[in-house]
C-alpha cells in the first residue's frame, strides 16, 4: 500500500475537513475520527452529539479488525416499576422519561485513544485539545444551518414546543432554525474546550459529569451521578460473515450488525451471474424480510440474545438461511419495526489504518431533553426498550437494541472497503445496495452510493413500514418489481429518507477512493 494515501468521508463537509486535516498532519485514523465526530456533533446536532452513542470498527493492516461498543446502558433506576409509578404504560419517545440511557460516545472516543496508545505507544495520539478545538471554535463562531437541520427543526417544532431548554438552545426565541442562517452554540463550544483541557473522563467522573447528572435529574430523568461514574465503553469482538468476495465485518448485539451481515451473505449465496438489477433488488428485498424477522427475535442487550450470533453466520447456517428465501414470490411484510437516525463516517490514514464509525442520538434531537449549560441534547435510545416481558424488556444496566452498525469488507484481492449509512431500517439495505452495485455490478464507489435506492420499513422519523423507492429508479426496474408483486410507494429523488451513505476503499497497489452521499451535505476527500 502507498503509505502516503489517506481518505475521509462524512455526511457534512466540515467533519470531513476536520478529519482530513488531522490525517494530513500525520494523525491516525483514530484521531481523525474523533476530530470529525466532535465537528459533526456541532454541524449536525439533530442527528448526533455528545449526548448520544457510537460504535467503532477498526482495521490495522496485518491484524484482525477490532470494535468498540460505546452505547449506553439503562439507568439503575430505570425499571418497569419506575414507569408504572409515573402512570406510563410505555416508554415515551420524548421527554425526561425517554432520557434513560447513558450517553456512550465520549467514552468511546476515550477508549479508542487508549487502545490505539496500547497498540502503538503513548506518542501515537495527537493532543486531545488539538482534536477538539476546531469543533469547539466552530460551535462558538456558528455554522450555517443545513436543509437537513432546518427540516428536522420544523418537524419537531410542535412536539418540543413546551421543552424550555430545547427552545433556549435550538430555536431563536421560539422560531425554528431556517436553512442558511447562522446557528451558534457557544455552550457546546465551551464543553468541548473543557474536555480537551481536562480529559474525556470528565464527562463521566468529573465535575462535568456531576453537573450533567444533576441537570438530567432536575428534568426528571432516571439517570444519576452513579450511572455516569459507572459507565465505560467496551472493546467487543466483531461479527464476521463470508461472501464470495471476502470477509465482511460488523458489530455484535445490541446492534443490528448481525442482520446486515445475514442480509448480504444470503444475497451473495443467491446471486446469479445473469441477473439484471431488478433481479438483484428483488433478492435483496426478500433477504431483508428474512433477516429482519430474525433480528426482531434475537437482537437485544447482549446478555439477552438467545442464540450465538456468530454461529448463525457460519457457512452451513448461511446456506440454510439462504434456502429459506423464496425468490419466486413476494413474502408478506406486516411487521412493525424500528426507525432511527445517525451519522456514518469512514477514514483511512497514511499507515493503512481504516475506521468505520457511526454516532447517533436515535431520533432527530433525541429525547428533546437539553442541558443548556453545555448546549447538548440527550439521546432517546432507551425508547426502543419495551416494558413488557421479552428480550428487549427494560432492565437496569441493560442496553437497548440499536439500528447502528458500521461495516467493513476485507476483500480476497487485499483491497478493503469501510462502508455504512444513517437511516434506521435502511442501514442493512443500503449497505447491501452499495455492495451489490460495486462488487456484483462493478460500479464505481460514487455511483454505488449515489444511484436511486429503495427502503423496506422505516427510516429516521418515518412511520411508514412499507416498501418505498426513489422516483428516479429506472422505470423498467420499477415495472419488473411491480410484476413480481411488490407494492411500491415512490418518494422524491435523492430523498434524505434514504439515508446518508458513504464508502472508503483502498487496494494493495496503493489506490484509494472515497465517496459520499449526494443526499447529504457531505464531502469525500483523498490525499496522496
Closest Cα to residue 142, out of 101, 177, 185? 185
- Who contacts 267 (Cβ-Cβ below 8 Å, separation ≥6)? 280, 283, 284, 287, 432, 436
Contact 492, 471 (CB under 8 A): yes
Going by the DSSP 8-state scheme, the letter that residue 205 receives in this structure is H
Distance between CA atoms of 204 and 56, rounded to whole angstroms?
20
Closest Cα to residue 132, out of 37, 213, 217? 37
Q: Which residues are annotated as catalytic?
A: 342
Contact 369, 221 (CB under 8 A): yes
Residue labelled with grid coordinates 435550538: 170
Closest Cα to residue 501, out of 289, 349, 291, 356? 356
Distance between CA atoms of 106 and 71, rounded to whole angstroms?
10
Residue labelled with grid coordinates 425468490: 327
Pairing of strands 488-491, 467-470: parallel
Closest Cα to residue 26, out of 130, 111, 97, 112? 130
Helix/strand number for the chain, H first, E second = 17, 20
Going by the DSSP 8-state scheme, the letter that residue 318 receives in this structure is H
H or E element that contains 151: helix 147-156
- Who contacts 220 (Cβ-Cβ below 8 Å, separation ≥6)? 95, 96, 97
Contact 198, 210 (CB under 8 A): no
335: left (phi over 0), alpha (psi -120 to 50) or beta: beta
Residue labelled with grid coordinates 467522573: 205
Contact 463, 296 (CB under 8 A): no
Amino acid at each position: 500500500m502507498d503509505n502516503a494515501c489517506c481518505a475521509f468521508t462524512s455526511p457534512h463537509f466540515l467533519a470531513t475537513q476536520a478529519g482530513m486535516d488531522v490525517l494530513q498532519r500525520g494523525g491516525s485514523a483514530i484521531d481523525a475520527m474523533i476530530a470529525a465526530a466532535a465537528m459533526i456533533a456541532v454541524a449536525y446536532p439533530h442527528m448526533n452529539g455528545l449526548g448520544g452513542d457510537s460504535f467503532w470498527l477498526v482495521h490495522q493492516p496485518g491484524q484482525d479488525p477490532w470494535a468498540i461498543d460505546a452505547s449506553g446502558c439503562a439507568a439503575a433506576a430505570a425499571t418497569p416499576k419506575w414507569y408504572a409509578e409515573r402512570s406510563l404504560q410505555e416508554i415515551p419517545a420524548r421527554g425526561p422519561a425517554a432520557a434513560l440511557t447513558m450517553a456512550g460516545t465520549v467514552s468511546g472516543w476515550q477508549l479508542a485513544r487508549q487502545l490505539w496508545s496500547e497498540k502503538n505507544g503513548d506518542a501515537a495520539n495527537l493532543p486531545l485539545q488539538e482534536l477538539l478545538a476546531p469543533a469547539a471554535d466552530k460551535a462558538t463562531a456558528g455554522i450555517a444551518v443545513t436543509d437537513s437541520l432546518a427540516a428536522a427543526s420544523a418537524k419537531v417544532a410542535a412536539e418540543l414546543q413546551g421543552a424550555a431548554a430545547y427552545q433556549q438552545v435550538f430555536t431563536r426565541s421560539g422560531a425554528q432554525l431556517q436553512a442558511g442562517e447562522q446557528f451558534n452554540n457557544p455552550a457546546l463550544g465551551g464543553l468541548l474546550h473543557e474536555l480537551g483541557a481536562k480529559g474525556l473522563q470528565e464527562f463521566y467522573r468529573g465535575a462535568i459529569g456531576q453537573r450533567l447528572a444533576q441537570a438530567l435529574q432536575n428534568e426528571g430523568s432516571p439517570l444519576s451521578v452513579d450511572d455516569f461514574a459507572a459507565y465505560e465503553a467496551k472493546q467487543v469482538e466483531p461479527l464476521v460473515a463470508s461472501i464470495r468476495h471476502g470477509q465482511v465485518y460488523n458489530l455484535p448485539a445490541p446492534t443490528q450488525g448481525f442482520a446486515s451481515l445475514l442480509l448480504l451473505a444470503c444475497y451473495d449465496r443467491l446471486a446469479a451471474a445473469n441477473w439484471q438489477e431488478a433481479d438483484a433488488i428483488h433478492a435483496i428485498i426478500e433477504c431483508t424480510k428474512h433477516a429482519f424477522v430474525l433480528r426482531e427475535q434475537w437482537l437485544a442487550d447482549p446478555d439477552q440474545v438467545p442464540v450465538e450470533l456468530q454461529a448463525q453466520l457460519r457457512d452451513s447456517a448461511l446456506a440454510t438461511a439462504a434456502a429459506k428465501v423464496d425468490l419466486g414470490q413476494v413474502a408478506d411484510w406486516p411487521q412493525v419495526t424500528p426507525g432511527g437516525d445517525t451519522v456514518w463516517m469512514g477514514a483511512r490514514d497514511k499507515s493503512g489504518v481504516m475506521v468505520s464509525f457511526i454516532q447517533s442520538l436515535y431520533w432527530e434531537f433525541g429525547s428533546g431533553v437539553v442541558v443548556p449549560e453545555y448546549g447538548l441534547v440527550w439521546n432517546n435510545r432507551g425508547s426502543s426498550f419495551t416494558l413488557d416481558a421479552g428480550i428487549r424488556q427494560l432492565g437496569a444496566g441493560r442496553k437497548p437494541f440499536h439500528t447502528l452498525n458500521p461495516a467493513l469488507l476485507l476483500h480476497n484481492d487485499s483491497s478493503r472497503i469501510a462502508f455504512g449509512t444513517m437511516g434506521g431500517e435502511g442501514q442493512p439495505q443500503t449497505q447491501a445496495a452499495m455492495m451489490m452495485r460495486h462488487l456484483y455490478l462493478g460500479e464505481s464507489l460514487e455511483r454505488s452510493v449515489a444511484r436511486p435506492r429503495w427502503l423496506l420499513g422505516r427510516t429516521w422519523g418515518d412511520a411508514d413500514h412499507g416498501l418505498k423507492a426513489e422516483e428516479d429508479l429506472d422505470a423498467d426496474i420499477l415495472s419488473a418489481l411491480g410484476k413480481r408483486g411488490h407494492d411500491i410507494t415512490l418518494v422524491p429523488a435523492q430523498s434524505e429518507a434514504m439515508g446518508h451513505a458513504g464508502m472508503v476503499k483502498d487496494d494493495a497497489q496503493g489506490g484509494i477512493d472515497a465517496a459520499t452521499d449526494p443526499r447529504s451535505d457531505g464531502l469525500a476527500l483523498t490525499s496522496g
